[in-house]
Chains A and B, each alone.
Chain A
Amino acid sequence: MFKDLDPLLHSQLRLAVISILIGSEEADFVFIREKTNATAGNLSVQIEKLREAGYISVEKSFRGKMPRTTCRITPAGISAFEKYVAALNSYLRPK
């Protein structure tokens, strides 16, 4: 029996964002945009969806005079990511 893949994570950009954050304590919006090659608008929308689901926290601050958006993965995000990877493994290596 295959486990369902979390639809929130089973999308290219949101999965990329979560994967970056799983390996970092924190990353800012510009870094994530550069690494994912996403447009600022699309990335904002997907980050907001992850934030609403409680998978990431978003902090807005200033870097000198420039606004800065910093993202961190939450315990709920880590748990969802682990379940997602376990589900992927069960698809790729069915018993």
Chain B
Amino acid sequence: MENLLTEKESLDLIGQMINTAKNNLQKGTAKIILFWGYLVAGFSLATWVLLETLPHETRYHAFYLWFLMAAAYPFHYMLVKKIDRENRVRTYIDGLMNRVWIGFTISILVVVFGMLIDSLIVNTVAEAVKPGHEFVRWFHWLLLVPFMLCLYGFALFVSGKAYEFKPLTLGGLFCFAASFVLLFSLHKTGVYGVQMFALFISAVAGFVIPGHMLNRKEKKYVQGS
């Protein structure tokens, strides 16, 4: 038996149903935010400690720690698969946000690998052909953290606005501000230590705190789980 509707009932039903998945945040989103938040916070804090404690000549070896970050991706993939299994609806916002974070990851990988290739191969050849200019050849690494913080800010700000979840938006603004301030400290002694500490604070403000707030409020924001 089919229920036929009046025109007004039809419009009311359309509005009501469209709203069922409005501003949907997929269940488990908080877990991903916390996973990356704690990881980046932990790595930046560890790097900062190593930069402060390692002997002067070898202190930059502290950055090799970040290669371990690659080991996190299989866990991230498992988390994403689990979320996909557990969620019953995916809105266009969910789909768009997934793509924003994929674009964010690709941007970071392009820059980091481009700089690594430049430093390890192009610079080595250039140094052999024409020695000197060491500062100019390594200068781009000074801009990596401000650039990453800008990307964090962008992705967090867009996510916060899309899901109407203010702590994420504020986290994004904090990352923008941190990036801006860091650009004024490029000439300071111990700049890498300052950058790692700023990255640690930004990961806490942009990911860890909003992640825990989202975890607590998941029932309010997550629909259709």
Q: Which residues of A, 74-95, contact B by the 8 Å Cβ criterion?
A: 84-85, 88, 91-92
Q: Are B2 and A13 in contact (CB under 8 A)?
A: yes
Q: Which residues of B, 61-77, contact A by the 8 Å Cβ criterion?
A: none
B5 part of interface (Cβ distance < 8 Å): yes
Using known A-B contacts A16-B13, A20-B18, determine if residue A28 contacts B4 with beta carbons closer than 8 Å. Answer: no
Instruction: List the A side residues contacting B5 at CB < 8 Å.
Output: 10-12, 15
> Contact check: which of B16, B22, B89 meets A27 at CB < 8 Å?
B89
The DSSP consensus for interface residues of chain A is helix
How far is B224's CA from A71's CA once the two chains are assembled, in angstroms? 14
Residues 11-46 of A, flagged 1 when their CB comes within 8 A of B and 0 if not, give: 111111001101111111011001110000000000
Q: Are A85 and B7 in contact (CB under 8 A)?
A: no
B220 part of interface (Cβ distance < 8 Å): no
Instruction: List the A side residues contacting B114 at CB < 8 Å.
Output: none
How far is B116's CA from A70's CA once the two chains are assembled, in angstroms? 43
Q: Are B20 and A20 in contact (CB under 8 A)?
A: yes
Chain B residues touching A, range = 20 to 34
Q: Are A64 and B10 in contact (CB under 8 A)?
A: no
Instruction: List the A side residues contacting B18 at CB < 8 Å.
Output: 19-20, 22-23
Q: Are A23 and B91 in contact (CB under 8 A)?
A: yes
Using known A-B contacts A20-B17, A20-B20, A23-B22, determine if residue A15 contacts B88 with beta carbons closer than 8 Å. Answer: no
Q: State the Cβ distance, A85 to closest chain B Cβ, in Å.
A: 7
Using known A-B contacts A13-B2, A15-B13, A35-B20, determine if residue A25 contacts B94 with beta carbons closer than 8 Å. Answer: yes
How far is B24's CA from A26's CA once the two chains are assembled, in angstroms? 12
The 4 tightest CB contacts between A and B, nearest first, are A19-B17, A31-B88, A12-B3, A27-B89
Question: A residues bordering B, Cβ < 8 Å?
Answer: 5, 10-16, 19-20, 22-28, 30-31, 34-36, 63-64, 84-85, 88, 91-92
A-B contact list, 22 entries, CB within 8 Å: A10-B5, A12-B2, A14-B2, A15-B13, A15-B14, A16-B17, A19-B14, A19-B16, A20-B18, A20-B20, A23-B92, A24-B90, A25-B90, A25-B92, A25-B95, A27-B89, A27-B224, A35-B20, A63-B85, A85-B14, A88-B10, A92-B8
